[in-house]
Amino acid sequence: MRRKKIKLRYKKERVVFSDVLPYELPFIFTNRYFYRFLVKNEVLIDSTDVLHWKEGIDKGALSILALLSQYEGRQLKGKTEIELQKRLVTIPFNYAIKHKETSNRRLSIVHPLNQVQMVDFYDRYKNTLLYMCGKSHFSIRYPNKVACYFYYKDRLHSTLLGKKSDKLEIYFSEYENMKTYFSYKQYANIYKFYEDYRYQRAEKKYQHLLKFDIQGCFDNIYTHSIAWAVSGGMNTYKDHFEGEDDSFASKWDEVMQQLNYNETNGIVIGPEFSRIFAEVIMQHIDLRAETELKKAGFTNKVDYECYRYVDDFFLFYNDKTVKDKVLRIFDELLREFKMTISHEKTIEIERPFITDITRAKNQIDILLRDTFSFSSIEKEVEKDDEDDRDEHDSEDEETPVKVENLKKTLEHEPHFHLKATHFNKKYKDILATTGVAPKDVVNYTLAIANIHLPRLLKKYDRIFKTLKKGLDNPELAAYHEDCTRRIAQLESRLSNYLLELVDAVFFIFSENERINTTLKLSQVLNEVIIYMDNDYKISHTKTIRRFSDKTRALVFKKIRDEICLVMQRSPMNPDTQLETLYLLPVFRQLRAKYRLTSVELEKYLGVRRKEDGTLADMPRLNAIAIIILLYYMGASFEYDDLREALKVEIMKMYEGMPSTRMHRSAEMVILALDLAACPYLGRNQRSYKQKILQSMGLSRADALYIAEYMKTQKYMFTKWTGVNVTKELNAKISQEVYS
């Protein structure tokens, strides 16, 4: 499909869209509406740590600022600014996700106040950041200019959806766009490097490839080291610049400490601004390494070629002496900055530079190509595969089908090629013969499946459309019986295919249940659900059923059964709560009768019932888990008991936190504002919201102001209603840095 290039009309506050949140968040969680709040009320934090807002803002908006800034509402009345002083020292919301078999990765959402602070920092120092990130000859992912455009495309065509796609809301509803505040060179995603001419050219020139990365890069970065990198090294800084508190580096050091509760050892993991922080340091190390190698007689692009993607290095060389020298130099320089090479993940490859993972991916590509095809018509539609153009979707739907086109369609008898048991066997065989661990290819496999599936369904719809037009044309009465038979045949074959597909993708997912793979699986499921659940728009005035209720029921039940199996096999882990829980927002897409029962959901969460049938205490849940559960349960009476038990658990969280930490806690602040907007809190909803807000130290009046304001603001971080799952998922996955 052609991508539509749209000029950005966002303000500097768009930093909160793109650079302050981790990728590994549910698709219902976004800063889109927080951005809207900031712009509407002209909220900013300047370089002197003063919070500003426009005159005459709504009482509710002022109360929200009081909550964020740790002041009482009455202290902000009649003002348009207030000093924050030490209030910017906050506690990030840290949550764990699965990373390795024996360890988890801690990601962070920084306090909304620090997110606003980052807006001014970006705006003030954007040119400096670009300069600092443009020095290295090794880096292949670095910001090179402020983004001016975004690209929009909707993968689900109107024919696929059975209805016209939603119009793009330029103001605050961006989707496959706004990945980052800056445009990046040279590769936005690491996989693109492997397909680039630089990689292939290096293979022609060099015999060996060494891949290595930094051990716990973000965990080990010392915040003060940004000043060392900017000044030319630790010794240079200490000899000439130490004590200059008004410099760019000192300010950034201060900001990174403030948003991480004054920690200096390690930076928060997840936000894009952390990657830029690391990039500035790594650029300095790259430059010094290249200089040292030059002194030793080794020239880049002559004796070796070195490429770095964030903290992943690719060294091409011929002489072992070069490799040894490069490793020694980088080891010394990294140690100066409190970092080390991960020798565990260092691998050496001989030409041809193809790893076991690459071999596995190549074979998976072939397997999926065969899986997402149907025979006899491939040649007819092959030309559309390259760019997936929309010409067929934009043509006049009322145009009668030509008899020769109808006859041609009837001559072909498409067969879908997928048997889950056979597919699963072939997939396992690929892993076994290549020696690749499932974790290394599951994300890739599901990503490729998400590319192929819409194309296949579009091809099917073209055939269906032709047959249906033939059936509706009285002049083609001679072909009506054949059209009817073929339509019924195609419906049966496609529904069986989708059943097998659901089985296959869940098998793949079972090999590596991670946040990334859950999001990819959700894409596939959403594609199937939307396709099955919507009818076909044959013209501007006429809609026809695509599938019978019986056929739909079979597929929906299959999806339900597979999700239930996942939740039985992998109940929620107290340490990593989100991996399988992320399936619930897309599960909510199914009709009510296919959703989890309250008993099933309780069992998944590990909630016990007492002898009298009442619910026992719920497990300690983090804010993201709470938000997902509330969204999934919605207003359904089925979950009344569970919802009330969850509300009790939430209140315990607020009552159990010391008041000195409450306002500083990003988790408590974000959850409180989302609860204030949540329409799914059941009984005594209004009074409950008031209690939560008052537990944050707000007055009764301020709590009421916020609750009232949220009726027009609607959302702050979580989009509780009207979620376009397709667009939100596509937007989420487009932001992936590693895949």
Convert the pLDDT of each residue in 92-135 to its tens digit. 999 999 887 778 999 999 999 999 999 999 999 999 999 999 99
Model confidence at 209: pLDDT above 90: yes
Predicted local distance difference test score (pLDDT) of residue 158: 37
Model confidence at 356: pLDDT above 70: yes
Question: 721: which DSSP letter?
Answer: S
Q: What are the tokens at 564?
A: 């239930």
The predicted-structure confidence for 144-154, as pLDDT tens digits, reads as follows 988 875 544 44
What separation in angstroms does the CA of 499 have from each of 269, 492, 554?
A: 39, 11, 8
DSSP result, 278-338: HHHHHHHHHHHHHHHHHHTT--BTTTEEEEEETTEEEEEES-HHHHHHHHHHHHHHHHHTT
The predicted-structure confidence for 65-90, as pLDDT tens digits, reads as follows 999 999 999 999 999 999 998 999 99
HEC profile of 479-548: HHHHHHHHHHHHHHHHHHHHHHHHHHHHHHHHCCCCHHHHHHHHHHHHHHHHHHHCCEECCCCCEECCCC
Model confidence at 489: pLDDT above 80: yes
In degrees, rounded to 5, the angle at the alpha carbon of residue 583 between the alpha carbons of residues 733 and 518 is 45
Percent of the chain's residues with pLDDT above 90 = 63
Confidence of residue 157 (pLDDT cuts 50, 70, 90): very low
Model confidence at 521: pLDDT above 60: yes
Average pLDDT, the chain: 87
Calpha distance 706→710 (Å, rounded): 6
The predicted-structure confidence for 547-605, as pLDDT tens digits, reads as follows 888 989 999 999 999 999 999 999 988 888 899 999 999 999 888 889 999 999 999 99
Q: What are the tokens at 362?
A: 């190549």
Average pLDDT over residues 439-461: 91
What separation in angstroms does the CA of 691 have from each of 211, 469, 665, 684?
A: 54, 60, 18, 11
Predicted local distance difference test score (pLDDT) of residue 538: 61
- List, in order, residues 6 or more apart from 389 with CB less than 8 Å away: 1, 2
Which phi and psi (to 5°) does residue 57 adopt?
Answer: -75, 160
* Beta sheet of 304-309, edge-to-edge order: 304-309, 312-317, 208-213, 347-350
Predicted local distance difference test score (pLDDT) of residue 398: 62
Instruction: Tell which residue, 416, 343, 312, has the closest CA to residue 373.
Output: 416
Residue that the structure tokens 């549910």 belong to = 26
Spell out a b/e string for 450-479, using b for 16 or more CB atoms within 10 Å of the CB, else e.
bebbbbbbbbbbbbbbbbbbbbbbeebeeb
**H/E stretch holding 5:** strand 4-7
Predicted local distance difference test score (pLDDT) of residue 334: 95
Question: 96: which DSSP letter?
Answer: E
Instruction: Tell which residue, 716, 656, 719, has the closest CA to residue 65.
Output: 716
Model confidence at 375: pLDDT above 70: no
Confidence of residue 399 (pLDDT cuts 50, 70, 90): confident
535 vs 7 pLDDT, higher one: 535
Calpha distance 444→208 (Å, rounded): 26
Average pLDDT over residues 513-535: 92
The predicted-structure confidence for 263-285, as pLDDT tens digits, reads as follows 999 999 999 999 999 999 999 99
Spell out a b/e string for 105-137, using b for 16 or more CB atoms within 10 Å of the CB, else e.
bbbbbbbbbbbbbbbbbbbebbeebbebbeebe
- Least confident piece of the model among 392-401, 469-478, 640-649: 392-401
- Least confident piece of the model among 89-103, 264-278, 505-519, 678-692: 89-103
Confidence of residue 395 (pLDDT cuts 50, 70, 90): very low
- List, in order, residues 6 or more apart from 141 with CB less than 8 Å away: 184, 185, 186, 187, 188, 190, 279, 309, 310
Predicted local distance difference test score (pLDDT) of residue 43: 97
Q: Do you find a cis peptide bond into 257, omega within 30 degrees of 0?
A: no
The predicted-structure confidence for 593-638, as pLDDT tens digits, reads as follows 899 999 999 999 999 888 888 888 788 999 999 999 999 999 999 9
Model confidence at 185: pLDDT above 90: no
Predicted local distance difference test score (pLDDT) of residue 244: 63
The predicted-structure confidence for 167-176, as pLDDT tens digits, reads as follows 322 233 333 3
Q: Where are the alpha helices (DSSP H) in 570-665?
A: 584-587, 598-605, 623-633, 640-655, 659-662
Q: Do you find a cis peptide bond into 352, omega within 30 degrees of 0?
A: yes
Distance of CA 555 to the CA centre of its chain: 27
The predicted-structure confidence for 237-255, as pLDDT tens digits, reads as follows 776 666 666 689 999 999 9
